[in-house]
Structures are given as structure tokens and as C-alpha cells.
Chains A and B, each alone.
Chain A
Amino acid sequence: MSKDSILKNPKNLKRRKLINSVMISLCVLAGLVTIIPLIYIFFYTTQSGISSLNVDFFTQLPKPVGEEGGGMANAIVGSLILISIGGLIGIPVGVLSGIYISEYSKSFLSSIVKFTTDILSGVPSIIIGIFAYGVIVIPMQRFSALAGGFALGILMIPTVTKITEEMLKLVPMSLREASLALGVSRWKTTLKIVLTTASSGIITGILLAIARAAGETAPLLFTAFGNSFWQTKIDQPMAALPLQIFTYAISPYEDWHRQAWAGAFVLIFLVFVVNLLVRFVTRNKFSGNL
């Protein structure tokens, strides 16, 4: 058969067009399946949460059962502190191990690190909470924000490591060579060329890790524990939004349920805003390369 006959054969063409449109429909469908739950969650939380939101929610402490009103100010601040501690641990450790795996991939140790990170990312978060309980809560003989932050930090490590590794691997070898050929040392090349080139991807990964950690409840149960009062000392039990939402949602009180919705809304909104904000700030005028 010559080339022309393939082009001109209408039967073949029709069949191909059909297959093409079926495949496209499947892709669109899959896309919708991904988007719909997100939109649903977003709208449902907004709808149920926004009506219970007021200034008090951000400024007041929780009220005892039976009293109307109150807020989650302590939990909001607590979450921010816990995430900061988690980030201080998880981001540097994750980024550095990602660099190690990607840039020094030929060493035996780095393959162990890679393997361990993969395993760690599959460990259920409650187990990580128990681990933090064992290494921090028991020796300190007290629940604390430190233990909660530590658990969140451990939880962030595999995500940050993985994304750093992947992003660094996307940086073409030719850029490393270009830098080395200028007489730039290996570590400066990694830091100033490779890491910088991959930075927007890595930042996105860090955001994902933070967003995930911000919503974690299980690892905080035996670590930060929760607190109905103001607490900003990191060696003390501390309230956190997901914990508070959890406690309120399983309570039998209508008023607490409404507050739980408000909390859920604030949590989602915060994650959303942080995402947008960092994207905006790190928007690189030289982007489009990765």
C-alpha cells in the first residue's frame, strides 16, 4: 500500500477518529473525576463553614460546653507553630537528602537513603506519631508542641526528599558541566546552579508537604495532644486546628459541629492561600525552563 492510500482510505480514517475521540473522552472523564471531589469539598466546606465564621472564631478561645460562641484562636496559632517546627526539621533534612540522592547517586549510602525514604513515605502517620511519642514525649514526660512538630517534620521528610530528587534530576547534566567547566566547585555548582534551576519545583513540593502536614491529625494525638487554652511554649501541649476539628466533630453538640466546619474551612483556605502566595512570590521571570 502506498502512503496515499492510507491518507485517503476513509474507513481507516473514521475508525481512527473514533478511537481518538473515545480516548479523549476517557481523559476528560478522568480529569473530572479528579476535579469534582475537590470542588465538592471546597464548596461544601465553604457553605457549611462560612456561616459559622465570625471575628470571635479568630480571636477567642474555645468556650466550655454549654456556652455559646468562642473560637479557635489558640488552635490556629498552635497549628502555625507546629507547622513551623515541622518545617524547620522536615525541609532542610528533606532537601539535603534529596540533593544527596540525586547528586551523589553512585554511593552505596545514597541508595540506602533512597530506599529508606521510600519506605518512610509509606509509614502511616499514626505510627510516626507513636514514634514521636516514644522519643520525645516519654523522655520529657509531657505532651508538647515540640513532639507534635517533630512528628510533622518526620512526615514531611519523604515528600520533600522525593520531590527534591526528582526536580534535581530534571536539571540537564549540561548545566552542571557548564558550571564545572568554569572552574566552579562541585558544591557551589549544586547550590547555585542546580538547586536554583530546580527551585520552583522544589518549592512546590515543599508546599505540598506543608499542606499535607497542616491537615494531619493522627500524629498529633499523642504528641501535641491539644489544649483548650492559650499556649505558645513549645514544651507544652498545644492546640492544633485538625485536632480541634476532630474533637469538635465527634462531639454531640450542634454548636461544636458548626465550629468544626468553620475550622475545616479555615484550614482549607489557609492551605489554598499559602499555595497561591508562594506561587506568586516565587514566580520567576525566567521560568518556563523546567
Chain B
Amino acid sequence: MKDNNSMDNDNDNIELEIDPEIQEESELNSKAAVLTNDLSVYFNKRAGIENINLKIRKNRVTSIIGPSGCGKSTFLRSLNLMHDMTPSARVFGEIFINGENISDYNSVDIRKKVGMVFQKPNPFPTMSIYDNVIAGLKLNGSKKRSDYDEVVEKNLIHSGLWNEVKDRLKTPAMSLSGGQQQRLCIARTIAVDPEIILMDEPTSALDPISAAKIEELIFNFKNDYTIVIVTHNMQQAARVSDMTAFFYLGKLVEFSKTRRMFTNPREKLSEEYITGKFG
């Protein structure tokens, strides 16, 4: 991999010094799960995000915060090539996943590695709970039919839903509560065995108890996955993440350890946002 992990934004006046803590850790963990190099996304002529340079490390939870419209979703969706679906979107710059430039790969293969959980739970409405879990495997034809039972059980246990649904696996997924649906979506996502999971405000449509369950999952997932989570909930970011990126007006303002971001941010703008002065 190219040694391209300096964090400076060269195009504007926001100067980012290299956080010594980051440097230390990044040496311990030299392989970045995701690395973006001057990543910009334009919608028609307007920039959604501009020149984002970010290094997301393996088996860490990275949260992305910032006011509405600052480009959090746009950034997240560029990592699994979702912008392919938006005709007006143009993506510039480079994205490396495990050190490999994703433009060398088929988008379908990238998405198998980079799963996504959405803001609103979106199980497939025509399918049962069981079929939702194996949907990805079935449609990709990547596992034998005889393995399905095992896959379903394993992933539902892993997503903390098994005990609630084990007696009604064949009932419609839509019969679950919102929080259960979201955990089902997580089970569906991890069933295809991704390395990275992108979550775009995964708990914002849920009640506090369901949200807490999801947070707990995210916490437990750390050993197995690299997680990038967009959230509007500052406490949530502080609770679940190791690193926090603060976006503002399409730019990356600060990328620091979460503890530092919420106690002693380097940028004044971050501090103002975190303390609720704007946003």
C-alpha cells in the first residue's frame, strides 16, 4: 500500500496537524481498512463532499458527525459505490479498501466486502425472516442450500435477534418491530460476510431501547468488522466509536480519537458543533 496516511487537507485553510496518537496507532495497525485520497463527489455541478482524505482503520468503529447536509451520507455511500445509482453523481479521487484501489474491481465485489445498514429498516417485504437473512447469499448463489439453516441461526444470534424470532423464522419480516427489523437488516448484512459495515444513522428511526441494543451490537462487532457509522447523536458517537470525523460543508474538518474529539477537539469549529453552538 502507498504510505499515504497524512491527514492534511491541502486545498483549504483548515490546517490539520498529524495527531501523534493517530500516528502511533497507525503504525501498530499499518493496514487501513479504508483510505480515501482526495475523494470528492459532485451532484450535477454542486459538491456534496470535497477532497476528503481519511484513513479508517481495521476493526475500529469510526463515527462521522456533522450538521445536516454536510456530506456524511455522501461520503459513506461513496465507499460502497452507491453513487453508481445516482445518474447526477460524479465521484473523483481514489478509494482504497485493504490497500487496493476499488476502481480496479467490480462494484458487485466491492459491495460484498462493504456492507451497508440504512437509516430506515428495510427488510425485503415479500420475504420471511429466514429468507431475509439468506437473501444476499441466495441471490449471489454463494452458498449451498444445505448451509442456509446454519447461516440463519449464526447470523441471527450474532445480531441479537435469535431468541426473539427462533420460533417464527418463516413469518413475514414485516411482522417484526422497527428495532427488530433493523437487527434483521444487520443480520442480512453480516450474512454475506463483509469486512466493513457502513451504517447511516442506523438508530435514528428507533426507540431508545432498540437503539441501545444496536449500539451494543456495534460494540461487540469490533473484533470482526470495521464499522463506519454516521450519527446525529453525539452521545452515541462518544459511546460506540474509537475515532470520530467531523464534517462541515462537504469538508473534513477534524479526524481525531473520539475521546479527544469530545473533550479537547483540535479545531474551534468542532468544538462549537459539539457544544451545540450550531448545527
Contacts and interface: CB of A to CB of B under 8 A. Distances in A.
B192 A180 contact: no
Contacts of A182: 111-112, 115, 135-136, 139-140, 188-189, 192
Contacts of B110: 183
23 contacts: A175-B124, A175-B125, A176-B85, A177-B82, A178-B123, A179-B135, A180-B85, A181-B80, A182-B112, A183-B109, A183-B136, A183-B192, A185-B108, A189-B139, A193-B124, A197-B125, A197-B126, A284-B126, A285-B172, A286-B125, A286-B127, A286-B172, A290-B125
Interface string B106-145: 0011111101101010111111100000011001100000
A188 interface: yes
Residue of B108, B115, B120 with most partner-chain A CB within 10 A: B108
Contacts of A288: 174
A289 interface: yes
A184 B136 contact: yes
B91 to A, nearest CB: 16
A106 interface: yes
A197 B132 CA distance: 13
A174 interface: yes
A289 B172 CA distance: 11
Contacts of B174: 286, 288-289
Given A181-B80, A184-B136, A196-B126, 20 more contacts: A172-B122, A174-B120, A177-B82, A178-B185, A180-B111, A181-B118, A182-B112, A182-B188, A182-B189, A183-B112, A183-B136, A183-B192, A185-B108, A188-B139, A193-B139, A197-B125, A286-B128, A289-B125, A289-B126, A289-B174
Chain A interface, >50% SS class: helix
Contacts, number: 81
Q: How large is the interface on B (under 10, 10 to 19, 20 to 34, 35 or more residues)?
A: 20 to 34
A192 interface: yes
Interface of A: 106, 172, 174-185, 188-189, 192-193, 196-197, 199, 284-286, 288-290
Contacts of B124: 175, 178-179, 193, 197
A4 B120 CA distance: 38
Contacts of A176: 85
Interface in B62-113: 80, 82, 85, 87, 108-113
Interface of B: 80, 82, 85, 87, 108-113, 115-116, 118, 120, 122-128, 135-136, 139-140, 172, 174, 185, 188-189, 192
Nearest to B119: A174
Contacts of B113: 183
A167 to B, nearest CB: 13
B82 A181 contact: yes
B108 A183 contact: yes
Nearest to A193: B124
Contacts of A289: 125-126, 174
B51 to A, nearest CB: 26
Contacts of A197: 124-126
A257 to B, nearest CB: 49
A184 B172 contact: no
Contacts of B123: 178
Nearest to B80: A181
A288 B127 CA distance: 12
Given A197-B124, A197-B126, A284-B126, A192 B139 contact: yes
Nearest to A106: B87
B118 A177 contact: yes
Nearest to B194: A183
